[in-house]
Amino acid sequence: MEIWKVGFAAMVVGLTMVVECGVVAADMLYSSKLVHRFSDEVRKLGVSRNGEVWPQHRSLEYYGRLMSSDLQRQKMKLGPQFQLLFPSEGSKTMPLGNDFGWLHYMYIDIGTPSVSFLIALDAGSDLLWVPCECVQCAPLSASYYSSLDKDLNEYNPSGSSTNDTSTSGVLVEDILHLASGSRMAANSSARAPVIFGCGSKQTGGYLNGVAPDGLLGLGPGEISVPSRLAKAGLVQNSFSLCFKEDDSGRIFFGDQGPASQQKTSFLPSDGQFVTYVVGVESCCVGSSCIEQTNFKAIVDSGTSFTFLPDQIYDRVVKEFDREVNASKASFEGYPWQYCYKSSSEGLPKIPSFTLKFMTNSTFIVQDPVFVIYGSQGAVGFCLAVEPSGIDIGTIGQNFMTGYRMVFDRENLKLGWSLSDCQDLTDSNRLPMTPANGSSPNSLPTDQQNSPNSSGVAPAVAGRTPSKSAAPTNRRISFKLCLTKLLFPLLLVSSNFRQSMYTLTL
């Protein structure tokens, strides 16, 4: 089976996970704060090992690095009642810059005794993998990376009492350590059996520091950590990602979203749900919805920007250009084709950008443009959308900003609601005002729902198991064949079955 991976944005999370426990085990939530690769929080961690200073916020280099990552990935692809879980080492995420390929990361603890791993987040793949009895791996010493204050680890199967597998280069089942806590109860520990790749050989970008300590796939496959947590009865089979305008955010395992959220269905690819695909019925710009702009799109939090199929892109940008009250401009080095000058009075009113789904639900992009700054302040702005070059689009992280995006795998739904990313309860969530000042419920006048329409307006937004409970022996040999940044994984044999899978992440 092939899993498409489109672009990446960088976030760092940490996961031994902390949980807020409830009476029902399934109603638990795992969470971790997300921080953007270029955020001020991460900037304080320092510069890359090559002495290269991080790009200035919203500078040419800033956008260039994000877009470069997205283009590489494009080429590689064909509610409130829940309890909370977040990393026991802290819920804060850490983007680690150029040393780590501008990905987002989180800490997880695996095995008994537990070993900590700094892993990259990847919503477009399924497998969790960590370095194991390395034959050829990226450096794990903190001295090699300017942004680390402690060494990275490698997994030793024979050193964990909760694992029965001791051979390197295999799929291993072992314990993922979680910490649980509740407002009404003291903290307690929780453990979940997970399957992960024990990789002994790395090539390509991994040897240069891209995810040197492992990668966490959040895809819909049965082997993914969200799937395993749900099967263990720890959480609902769902998770959410929330992105703030300051590039920070959170991740919640088990979150199925508030009742007020809007939803649309995930679509299968060749009869299977191998990644998160939705059907866009039309694109709306400003006062009208454009005809013949329906397409399928991968919802990929790992993509910094948004990509549209070429014909859709042409229609959308022309309508945007027609409605924006600004003079076109060219800013050397920036990746976007539709850019405009700002006036002495600042930015003009930006035409709204709305995606309308087949369920008659609407997704209003909070800020579809990126402002370009010079020495004297804002000098212009660009519509941060690019042609995909294929017949499927990608809804990237820039379109998700300001939203709590729910990947409800149990009901095969994508949900969204405006959020401040601080609290999951409806009462504590602060409404956000769209960047262009328009009402968050507004639709183009020619596409507003009739009184009898079924459409919905956009929302304003444990214990340590005994030895006998240890995972059963599972050994599936595999070889890691790394691509430029992410790897295809070949599973060549199994004690239970003979099969072969190729994962293009």
Per DSSP, the residues of 227-241 read HHHHHTTSS-SEEEE
Q: How confident is the model at residue 310 (pLDDT cuts 50, 70, 90)?
A: very high
pLDDT higher than 90, residue 406: yes
Phi, psi of 289 (to 5 degrees): -100, 135
195 plus 315 within the same structural domain: no
pLDDT higher than 50, residue 503: no
% of the chain residues with pLDDT over 70: 51
C-alpha distances in Å from residue 179, one per residue of 61, 137, 201: 39, 30, 31
H or E stretch including 33?
Answer: strand 30-35
DSSP designation for 86: E
Q: Give the count of domains, the chain.
A: 2
Q: Looking at the annotation, which residues are catalytic?
A: 122, 300
pLDDT digits (tens, 9 = 90+) for 439-455: 433 334 344 333 333 32
% of the chain residues with pLDDT over 90: 25
Predicted pLDDT of residue 171:
84
Decide if 246 is inside a domain: yes
DSSP designation for 344: T
Question: Cα 413 vs. chain centroid, distance in angstroms?
Answer: 16
141 plus 285 within the same structural domain: no
CATH number of the domain that residue 235 is part of: 2.40.70.10
232 plus 298 within the same structural domain: no
212 plus 294 within the same structural domain: no
250 plus 268 within the same structural domain: no
* Domain region containing 367: 262-447
213 plus 291 within the same structural domain: no
Predicted pLDDT of residue 258:
92
Phi, psi of 397 (to 5 degrees): -65, -30
**Residue whose tokens read 């970008």:** 205
pLDDT higher than 80, residue 491: no
147 plus 235 within the same structural domain: yes
CB 22 within 8 Å of CB 182: yes
Decide if 91 is inside a domain: yes
Give the Cα separation of 281 and 249 in Å (integer).
29
Predicted pLDDT of residue 111:
86
CB 292 within 8 Å of CB 315: yes
Ranking 41-55, 237-251, 291-305, 435-449 by mean pLDDT, the lowest is 435-449
Q: Where are the beta strands (DSSP E) in 352-475?
A: 353-357, 362-364, 369-374, 377-383, 385-387, 392-395, 403-408, 413-418
Ranking 77-81, 221-225, 484-488 by mean pLDDT, the lowest is 484-488
pLDDT digits (tens, 9 = 90+) for 117-131: 887 777 777 888 888
Predicted pLDDT of residue 52:
53
Give the Cα separation of 476 and 501 in Å (integer).
12
243 plus 283 within the same structural domain: no
pLDDT higher than 50, residue 221: yes
Buried b / exposed e over 58-96, threshold 16 CB at 10 Å, is ebbebbebbbebbbbbbebbebeebbbbbbbbbbbbbbb
Give one word for 447, left, alpha or beta, with left for phi > 0 and alpha for psi -120 to 50. Answer: alpha
DSSP designation for 88: T
Predicted pLDDT of residue 224:
92
Q: What is the mean pLDDT of residues 42-54?
A: 54
pLDDT digits (tens, 9 = 90+) for 268-280: 988 999 999 999 9
Query: What six digits make up the tokens of 332?
Result: 């050397």
This prediction's pTM: 0.65
Decide if 485 is inside a domain: no
Give the Cα separation of 158 and 96 in Å (integer).
31
Among candidates 364, 420, 418, which has minimal Cα distance to 395?
364
Question: Is residue 166 helix, strand or coil?
Answer: coil
Q: What is the mean pLDDT of residues 289-300?
A: 93
Predicted pLDDT of residue 131:
82
Mean confidence (pLDDT) of the chain: 68
Ranking 260-274, 411-425, 476-490 by mean pLDDT, the lowest is 476-490
Predicted pLDDT of residue 86:
52
382 plus 239 within the same structural domain: no
Among candidates 142, 31, 177, 181, which has minimal Cα distance to 92?
31
DSSP designation for 471: P
Decide if 150 is inside a domain: yes
227 plus 335 within the same structural domain: no
Decide if 102 is inside a domain: yes
Give the Cα separation of 470 and 193 in Å (integer).
8
Residue by residue, what is the 3-state secondary structure of 259-286?
CCCEEEEECCECCECCCCEEEEEEEEEC
Predicted pLDDT of residue 160:
63
Predicted pLDDT of residue 87:
44
Q: What is the DSSP string of 119-163?
A: EEEETT---EEEEEEEEE-----GGG-TT-SS----B-GGG-TT-
Q: What is the mean pLDDT of residues 265-290?
A: 93
pLDDT higher than 60, residue 426: no
Residue by residue, what is the 3-state secondary structure of 305-342?
CEEECHHHHHHHHHHHHHHCCCCEECCCCCCCCCEEEC
Phi, psi of 442 (to 5 degrees): -75, 145
Q: How confident is the model at residue 412 (pLDDT cuts 50, 70, 90)?
A: very high
Residues 6 or more apart in contact with residue 185 via CB below 8 angstroms: 21
Predicted pLDDT of residue 487:
30
252 plus 271 within the same structural domain: no
| Burial class, 107, CB count within 10 angstroms (exposed 0-12 / middle 13-18 / buried 19+) | buried
Decide if 201 is inside a domain: yes
pLDDT digits (tens, 9 = 90+) for 350-389: 999 999 998 889 999 998 998 988 888 889 999 999 999 9
- Determine the Cα angle at 388 with ends 383 and 390, to 5°: 155
Q: How confident is the model at residue 183 (pLDDT cuts 50, 70, 90)?
A: very low
What's the half-sphere exposure (Cβ side, CA atoms, 13 Å) at 408? 19
Decide if 118 is inside a domain: yes
Q: What is the mean pLDDT of residues 267-293?
A: 93
pLDDT higher than 90, residue 4: no
pLDDT higher than 80, residue 27: no
111 plus 177 within the same structural domain: yes
Question: Cα 422 vs. chain centroid, distance in angstroms?
Answer: 17
Predicted pLDDT of residue 318:
95
Predicted pLDDT of residue 196:
85
Query: What six digits make up the tokens of 316?
Result: 């959308």
Query: What six digits make up the tokens of 144?
Result: 């090699």
pLDDT digits (tens, 9 = 90+) for 72-99: 555 444 433 344 455 455 444 445 555 5
- Which one is predicted more confidently, 288 or 406? 406
Decide if 459 is inside a domain: no
